[in-house]
Structure 1
Amino acid sequence: MTPRDLALANRLADVAGAAIRPLFRGEWSEERKADRSYVTEADRAAEAAMRALIEAERAEDGIIGEEYGTRNEGAGRQWVLDPIDGTTSFIAGRPIFGTLIALLQDGWPVLGVIDQPIAGERWVGRIGEGTTFNGKPTKVRTCKDMGEAVLGTTTPHQFGGEDVDAFMGVAKSVAERKIIYGGDCYNYGLVASGHVDIVVEAGLKLHDFAALVPVVEGAGGTMSDWQGNPLDSESDGRVIALGDPARLEDVLEAMG
């Protein structure tokens, strides 16, 4: 990863935002994909703009995009794109969705961007470097007791079977009034900035979590799967984000 990669990642966020902003709370088309999730004109326009920039400047790199699939599948360097993470929030006019941009090196996330183009909020994280929020260093906060933790998840409906019990175990270990729902990738930016302590999710795909890892870990937090293992391109989509890494064992114990 080079300074040029960082500059490109920021430009990718810029072009995605330029495609999204004119359509927010405006007129656009939408449809349901095969997995029953929604996709909008804004999702497709933002990803197309990012892919065009990568193809023009980094033709040898791979691309893994939510809407337009994979290019150069065997490349050691792959850009992972989620043009709008939180499409339901976009549809509802809630500015808590985000554009996710990650760079993988041999399957491991080394650079990540969470960009909220309406509020003008951008988290950028690099493995081995600090995370920035709108260009300034940002840090997680210490959480000495699970009972004081703020827990976030996008929706309890994403959990099925035994996953429900695991999530509820964590929910019961924190204060009832400190559980927040909704937010998708935005919650992970709030972990990196020291406002949220724990995020627990299931059913995520690579484009949903790859960018989050460098952002959270660059701010001093940690991300793992539900067994406490680091996340990579082969992870199963069950993720934990923690502002205070010392709480990992507590969370895993609460999950049973």
Structure 2
Amino acid sequence: MIRIDSATAAELWSVAEEMAAAARRETLRHFRQGGLTAETKEADRFDPVTVADRAAETAMREVLARRRPQDAVLGEEFGATPGSSGLTWVLDPIDGTRGYLSGTPTWGVLIAVSDGDGPFLGLIDQPYVSERFMGGAGRAELSGPLGRHPLRTRPPRPLSEAILFTTFPEIGSSEERAAFDALAGNVRLTRYGMDCYAYALVAAGQIDLVVEAGLQAYDVQAPIAVISAAGGIVTDWHGRPAHEGGRILAAANSRIHEQALAILSRVG
């Protein structure tokens, strides 16, 4: 892992917040304005991308080109750009484009900084409600309409009292769906369709678990950093590092993570 001193951490946070502000402007320019159309990235299912996705990532990359040109970039819309510093900015300009198209405020802008060991700084920004969840490199903080507050995940409680979120009820393959259903059958409440906002709610101490499958690095690296800084844990369904994506289990604490893992890890 690259050692980050306090001055560098402050610079990285300054850049991340400037990028988030730039992405806010671009996403709000089109949100709920009517007439927004989307292309689909895949022929066999609707995987939308809009002008707002591309404009937001372009705006963030322009900030990086000016302030941190030595760093690499991995973005959902424009792929990978090499760097020389050993640090990579991992960007999802609109995580939850389906929600964005539908007018729900559950989408967000994801920004992470990663080294060879994974993400150590992350930001989840929800422009429409002006909430920004920040974690890592000396921060675990939420800023929003009610001011600034520390982020802290929920303390342990029985799985039978837990709240579980996922984005799609038809999660993953039939085998993965069966594992998710087995877990859902053991919790108090299961909710769907929250995109990256679900991970933010884990960090904020509102819910206990998020379970998903088929994710990419740009979907998870910011949530990993934010949740970890707030006291939670994010792994794959076998307890391994998850920063490259795949099957994701985000938990408020190690105890409920262990209980959920015992069910999900039955999948091969």
TM range (shorter): over 0.9
TM-score (norm 2): 0.89
Deviation per CA, 1:70-93, whole angstroms, max 9, x where unpaired? 101675210010000000000000
Matched, 1:136 2:149: yes
Tell me which residue corresponds to 2:63. Answer: 53
> Following the alignment from structure 1 to structure 2, what is the Cα–Cα distance between the partners of residues 153 and 207?
17
The one-letter code of the counterpart of 1:20 is: T
Q: Using the TM superposition, give the Cα deviation of residue 158 of structure 1 relative to its aligned residue in structure 2, in angstroms.
A: 3.0
Tell me which residue corresponds to 1:148. Answer: 161
Give structure 2 stretches of 5+ with no counterpart: none
The one-letter code of the counterpart of 2:263 is: A
Q: 1:68 aligns with which of 70, 78, 85?
A: 78
The CA RMSD measured in Å over matched residues stands at: 1.5
Matched, 1:114 2:124: yes
- Partner SS for 2:185: helix
- Partner SS for 1:213: helix
Tell me which residue corresponds to 1:14. Answer: 21
Q: Using the TM superposition, give the Cα deviation of residue 153 of structure 1 relative to its aligned residue in structure 2, in angstroms.
A: 0.2
Matched, 1:87 2:97: yes
Compared CA separation, residues 201 and 73, structure 1 to 2 (3 A) = farther
Are the aligned partners of 1:112 and 1:211 in contact in 2 as well (CA < 8 Å)? yes
> Following the alignment from structure 1 to structure 2, what is the Cα–Cα distance between the partners of residues 75 and 130?
22
Seq. identity, %: 38
| Shift >2 Å, 4+ stretches | 230-233
Alignment of 1:241-256 (within 5 A): 241-255=250-264, 256=266
Deviation per CA, 1:90-127, whole angstroms, max 9, x where unpaired? 00000110000000112510100000000000000005
Higher mean alpha-carbon deviation, 203-212 vs 102-111, is at: 102-111
Q: 1:157 aligns with which of 170, 176, 182?
A: 170
> Following the alignment from structure 1 to structure 2, what is the Cα–Cα distance between the partners of residues 75 and 67?
22
Q: 2:194 aligns with which of 161, 165, 183?
A: 183
- Partner SS for 2:226: helix
Tell me which residue corresponds to 2:249. Answer: 240
Tell me which residue corresponds to 1:30. Answer: 38
Tell me which residue corresponds to 1:169. Answer: 182
Give structure 1 stretches of 5+ with no counterpart: none
The one-letter code of the counterpart of 1:230 is: P
Deviation per CA, 1:14-40, whole angstroms, max 9, x where unpaired? 000011112111133321113641001
Are the aligned partners of 1:173 and 1:254 in contact in 2 as well (CA < 8 Å)? no
The number of aligned residues is 251
Higher mean alpha-carbon deviation, 66-75 vs 111-120, is at: 66-75
Q: Using the TM superposition, give the Cα deviation of residue 254 of structure 1 relative to its aligned residue in structure 2, in angstroms.
A: 1.9
Deviation per CA, 1:158-211, whole angstroms, max 9, x where unpaired? 321311121112111112xx1110111100110011111000000000000010
Tell me which residue corresponds to 2:205. Answer: 194
Matched, 1:125 2:138: no
- Partner SS for 2:246: coil
> Following the alignment from structure 2 to structure 1, what is the Cα–Cα distance between the partners of residues 85 and 221?
16
Q: Using the TM superposition, give the Cα deviation of residue 230 of structure 1 relative to its aligned residue in structure 2, in angstroms.
A: 2.6
The one-letter code of the counterpart of 2:26 is: A
> Following the alignment from structure 1 to structure 2, what is the Cα–Cα distance between the partners of residues 112 and 17?
16
